[in-house]
Amino acid sequence: MTAPTKVRGPLGYSAFRVLWVAGIVTFVGSFVQNVGEAWLMMDLTKSPLPVAMLSTAFVGASLFAMLPAGVLADRFDRRKVAFASQVVQVIAALAMAVLSYTDHITPGALVFGVALLGIGMAIGAPAWAALIPELVPRELVAEAVALNAVAFNLARAVGPAIGGIVLARFGATTSFLLNAASFTCVMVALAMVRNTEVATPPASPPSVRPLASAFAEPWRVVMRDRDVRSPFIGMFGFTLGAGIFYALTPAFGKDSLGVSPLAYGVMIGALGGGAVLGASVIKRLRGRVAPRVLVAGTMMTFATFIAVVSRVSSVPVAMAMLVPAGAGWLGSFSSLSALAQIWAPAPMRARIIALYQMAHLATWALASATGGFLADQFGIRAAMMTGAAVCAVASLSTWRIGLPPSFTGEN
């Protein structure tokens, strides 16, 4: 009998690989639209606050759908739930393209369209994340989560630059159309892997419990289990600071640095490029140091370099500082997300992930609104420095919250 071939990493599993590639495509599409919608809002309103409110609308709307989506993903085929989410997002992006093309787009319509995209994202996010432990073996879950973060940051590295080119040459309408096309790529990928052999067959669906119990169970687990709860606490502090910084980058680029749409896209792409470059370092560190040490170090790296960015007046210097900041960003978010997924009990994994993503989105919405308010009151640079300070405090707090001792789910 031929010995089974040893698979070296998550990309060796075809189902994960197909969805990973599709994820890159849709992330690129989202960044292309982000550039277009932010620039369009600045043209419509001439104020950084409405631009920051786009992020608030996206994540705020997502909160209403996230936990119900987690319940659906724990009860039904997660691929079908993820597919439905792509349909919603295609409709939203196409509607925004039509309004933009016919010159009927308004700040209110732009905010509404972004909010609908947020709802669509929320419908599929818990199902998508809960699929990972089914697509790869448990010992590869942390690496798979990190690879998904790499996919996101690959898109961040090239998506804003592509978005800047598209915006400069074709306008915001094309940005919305390309985003709609990217969602169809995910739909095709989900259809392709429907019958593909996966690494870990999904567990039998749990017995259907009353809805009230289904919604209450994950809250009880998070409150009672320290290992499950700790990634939530770490994520809250870091997201608050990082969200303040990120929500202000369009206004910072346009008003403080005076960049063109293309230069802005390239500048923000440096953050994603840094995450991609730092991914291999983070992977090696994850096998050698405890989560607490890794998360604290990556948070402080991000805080340090965005503090420098908030003070510079040179685009090349800002780009150089955003590269190591991107590595800190990836290390922090991917490590905390991996811990949340690994330590969540399997029968309610999607709901625990939904709660985690809800907490992340709620914090991001709060951070975006706070960043816009601080920028209006004290200036963009002072608001961005505040975000850096919050991230530094979050780094120090990880020593007290008792993160789980490993990335494998084993003590």
For residue range 198-241, what is the model confidence (pLDDT) as tens digits? 555 555 445 455 666 667 777 777 777 777 778 888 888 999 99
CA 91 – CA 82 distance, rounded (Å): 15
Nearest CA among 244, 229, 231 for reference residue 391: 244
- Residue 117's Cβ-side half-sphere holds a number of Cα atoms within 13 Å equal to 30
What kind of architecture, by CATH, is found in domain 12-196+212-397?
Answer: Up-down Bundle (1.20)
- Residue 20's Cβ-side half-sphere holds a number of Cα atoms within 13 Å equal to 23
For the segment 257-285, the average pLDDT, to the nearest whole number, is 77
> Domain residues of the chain, as ranges?
12-196+212-397
- Note the pLDDT of residue 2: 42
Nearest CA among 97, 63, 410, 377 for reference residue 227: 410
Q: What is the pLDDT of residues 120-170, one digit of tens each?
A: 988 888 888 777 777 877 777 777 877 887 787 677 667 777 888 888 888
- Note the pLDDT of residue 34: 86
**Res. 311: pLDDT tops 80:** yes
**Helix or strand or coil: residue 400?**
coil
Nearest CA among 361, 384, 371 for reference residue 57: 361
For the segment 325-338, the average pLDDT, to the nearest whole number, is 85
Query: Rg (Cα) of the chain, in Å, rounded?
Result: 20
CA 143 – CA 335 distance, rounded (Å): 9
Highest-confidence segment of 75-84, 189-198, 235-244: 235-244
- Note the pLDDT of residue 196: 47
**Res. 280: pLDDT tops 80:** no
Burial class (CB in 10 A: 0-12, 13-18, 19+), 93: buried
Work out whether the CA dihedral 109, 115, 121, 123 comes out positive or negative: negative
Burial class (CB in 10 A: 0-12, 13-18, 19+), 207: exposed
Contacting residues for 136 by C-beta, under 8 A, at least 6 apart: 10, 13, 16, 143, 144, 199, 200
CA 267 – CA 161 distance, rounded (Å): 8
- Note the pLDDT of residue 302: 94
For the segment 182-209, the average pLDDT, to the nearest whole number, is 67
CA 203 – CA 187 distance, rounded (Å): 24
What percentage of the chain's residues is helix, strand, coil (to nearest 5)?
Answer: 80, 0, 20
DSSP 77: -
CA 224 – CA 242 distance, rounded (Å): 28
**Helix or strand or coil: residue 34?**
helix
State the Cα torsion 8-11-13-18 to the nearest 10°. Answer: -170
Q: Name the average pLDDT for the chain.
A: 81
CA 162 – CA 70 distance, rounded (Å): 33
Angle between helices 107-135 and 14-45 (to 10 degrees): 160
Angle between helices 107-135 and 349-378 (to 10 degrees): 140
Nearest CA among 343, 355, 319, 326 for reference residue 215: 355
**Res. 343: pLDDT tops 80:** no
Longest CA span, the chain: 72
**pTM of structure:** 0.70
